[in-house]
Amino acid sequence: MLGRTLPLLLALCLWAFVELVAAHSAAAQSNVLTVWDFKSEEPLMKPYFARVIKEFEARHPGVLGTAVSAGEGPDVALLHGGEQALQFADAFVSLTTQVADLVPQLTGANNFQRKDGSYVGLPISVQGVIIYYNKDVYKSAGLDPDAPPLTWDDLAANCKVIAEHTRAACFGLGNKAGVGFAGTIDALMTGSWPLDVRNQFMARELGWTSKPVHEVFDKFQAMVSNKWIEPGANSYSPYTDLPRMFAGGRVANMLGLVSDAPNAWKNLEQLIGVGNVGAFMPVAVAVSPQQQSKRLAVSGGIGFGVTRWSAHKDLAIDYVKISADADSELVFMDSGGMPANTKVDTSRMTSPVAKQILGFLNCCAIPNRVQDTFLPEERQEMQRDGELVISGQISVDETLNRLQQARTAAKSHQSP
């Protein structure tokens, strides 16, 4: 049996094992492999973790144990890709030749990659922001449930019809902890910017107060001013409240994730039925959909890494590789995920909306979500300012000035 600590929020989990580096260097005396994660207690994810555990135990009988019985920190830990993983890179083994056979199969591995080319961990999922829509609400409004909006003008027209013919809000936004605001800004950036502008911003060569960024925030302000967003967004969780509102027909569209989350396709289908959920990419803003065809930004989502204090690194690396192999990833997909491993046989998938998202990934995906490159200071400022923008307490100019100040302060802290 794979024991683990009580389910932890990601930040708590990461900080816990970072702080325990020195204290748990005595792990060499233990004969168990300890794994920390923050997903295995989710009902949808249990089949995937059961498969990984079963395969690992078949190869290595008797080495998985509980954190309590081991009395030590983890050998393997689950983490998010991007800046959040790289903040803790020093706590993980550099994976290079040990995983060279598997890395070419993995989408999003770059989001776990250090500047020296080594990997902090291996992704098991791809993650991105997509918009789900309730087909019953579209039908009630007289809209074609199989023709979601492609452009900003399409979206505006749909929102007008929904307001006139239903009691639903056009958009539901779960902005607890700033999640909804950051995700919507990311989607608007992806739908608005050509690749060169997007790359400049992600490289921090384009400031928050620049014209392209201002135009994106103006669009969000328009969503607020036009009353597209369900009132109370700042108090709603994107993972619990928002899916229930969506299922109840209170909102026509909602921002969600493509993979392994309560606001992703699997849970939404379970709430309102297979075939009743649709999905569309962030709409094209100020350009035609053909000019801006790639509008689904994806990153390596979650993945396992090996802690550098582990006394069982070879076993831990094998666990990480099993977690990302094609057979495990097939179970992960059945559990509601979008697998990072491109060798997974997806022909058996029966979900219409999952197939739709896979189609977007094949035709129209671009690497890296903009929000994954936000500095921690920028992310914190986004959380504060987003709540104020949604509630009408702050202007776009003031928001962008604050974000630019956060970036400047972060850079000064990084200077030698």
**Winning range, highest mean pLDDT, from 16-25, 69-78, 129-138, 328-337:** 129-138
Percentage of the chain exceeding pLDDT 90: 74
Buried b (16+ CB within 10 A) or exposed e, 104-121: ebbbbbbbbbbeeebbbb
pLDDT at 204: 95
**Averaged pLDDT, 105-120:** 94
pLDDT at 10: 32
Q: pLDDT tens digits for 237-258? A: 999 999 999 999 999 999 999 9
Rounded to 5°, angle at Cα 50 from 47 and 56: 145
**Dist CA 364 CA 236 (whole Å):** 30
Alpha helices in 248-375 (DSSP H): 265-272, 313-324, 326-334, 352-364
Those residues whose C-beta lies under 8 Å from the C-beta of residue 159, and which sit 6 or more positions away, are: 170, 171, 226, 228
**Dist CA 19 CA 242 (whole Å):** 34
CA distances from 363 to 131, 265, 340, 410 (A): 17, 19, 16, 36
Those residues whose C-beta lies under 8 Å from the C-beta of residue 361, and which sit 6 or more positions away, are: 126, 258, 296, 298, 338
For residue 259, pLDDT over 80 is answered with yes
- Which parts of 81-125 are beta strand (E)? 122-123
On the question of a common fold for 10-125+301-343 and 127-297+370-414, the answer reads: yes
Please report which confidence band the pLDDT of residue 70 belongs to, taking 50, 70 and 90 as the band edges. very low
For residue 5, pLDDT over 50 is answered with no
**Dist CA 382 CA 369 (whole Å):** 16
pLDDT at 65: 55
Query: What average pLDDT does the structure give for the chain?
Result: 88
In contact, 113 and 89? CB cutoff 8 Å: no
| Fold (CATH) for 127-297+370-414 | D-Maltodextrin-Binding Protein; domain 2 (3.40.190)
Task: Match 């929000």 to its residue by tokens.
Answer: 371
Those residues whose C-beta lies under 8 Å from the C-beta of residue 225, and which sit 6 or more positions away, are: none
Q: Which of 129, 56, 177 is nearest to 48 (CA)?
A: 56
In contact, 315 and 65? CB cutoff 8 Å: no
Q: How many CB atoms lie within 10 A of CB 222?
A: 12
pLDDT at 342: 87
For residue 69, pLDDT over 50 is answered with no
CATH match for 10-125+301-343 among 3.40.1780.10, 3.40.109.10, 3.40.190.10, 3.40.140.10: 3.40.190.10
pLDDT at 215: 98
Buried b (16+ CB within 10 A) or exposed e, 358-375: bebbeeebeebbbbbebb
pLDDT at 52: 94
Q: pLDDT tens digits for 187-220? A: 999 999 999 999 999 999 999 999 999 999 999 9
Q: pLDDT tens digits for 15-67? A: 333 322 222 333 344 567 888 888 888 888 899 999 999 999 999 887 765 43
**Averaged pLDDT, 132-138:** 98
pLDDT at 214: 98
Give the domain ranges of the chain. 10-125+301-343, 127-297+370-414
Q: pLDDT tens digits for 316-335? A: 999 999 999 999 999 998 88
pLDDT at 27: 38
pLDDT at 31: 63
pLDDT at 176: 93
Please report which confidence band the pLDDT of residue 88 belongs to, taking 50, 70 and 90 as the band edges. confident
Backbone angles phi, psi at 253, to 5 degrees: -125, 150
- Give the predicted TM-score (pTM) of the model: 0.83
Q: Which two tokens stand for residue 286?
A: 């100020």
**Averaged pLDDT, 279-290:** 94
Q: pLDDT tens digits for 362-375? A: 899 999 999 988 99
Q: How many CB atoms lie within 10 A of CB 158?
A: 23
pLDDT at 197: 96
In contact, 145 and 138? CB cutoff 8 Å: yes
